[in-house]
Amino acid sequence: MKYTYPKHEKLKSKKIIDLLFSEGQSVSKYPLRLVYVPITEENYTFLKNQNPDLGPLQMGVSVSKKYFKKAVDRNYFKRVLRECYRLNKTLLLEKLDQPYAFMFFYQTKERLSYQEIEEKTIQLFEKFQTKNK
């Protein structure tokens, strides 16, 4: 398994992002939150037409401007979230039976270390797996 975060795994479709916020379910492990929605056959074909090498996972990250006013700080935590996802996505891929779209949120003012965020990410992914059995 390659530990990469290729372009086809990045969540960019406005249609899917809107679907995440309107119909998505969530799992939380403070201070992280994972909002997810299974991608239906109709949406999957729509995405497949836009991006032919589409995989079973679409992931986006977000850090609130409310908590981190400076873009430098927001970008740092987005990089950390993407890195944690990249290294631990095998936990998600092992158990997925259908394509999913995910949005990964960092929701606190606290400046946690990389190790703490990675530990919470692993716990969050495991919680997602148990919820969706």
Per-residue pLDDT tens over the stretch 35-50: 999 887 776 666 666 6
Average pLDDT over residues 75-91: 94
Distance CA 102, CA 84 (A): 14
Alpha helices in 12-68 (DSSP H): 14-23, 41-50
Q: Give me the pLDDT at residue 52, please.
A: 58
- State which CATH number among 2.40.30.260, 3.30.450.20, 1.10.533.10, 3.30.230.10 fits the domain covering 8-131: 3.30.230.10
pTM value?
0.88
Domain ranges of the chain: 8-131
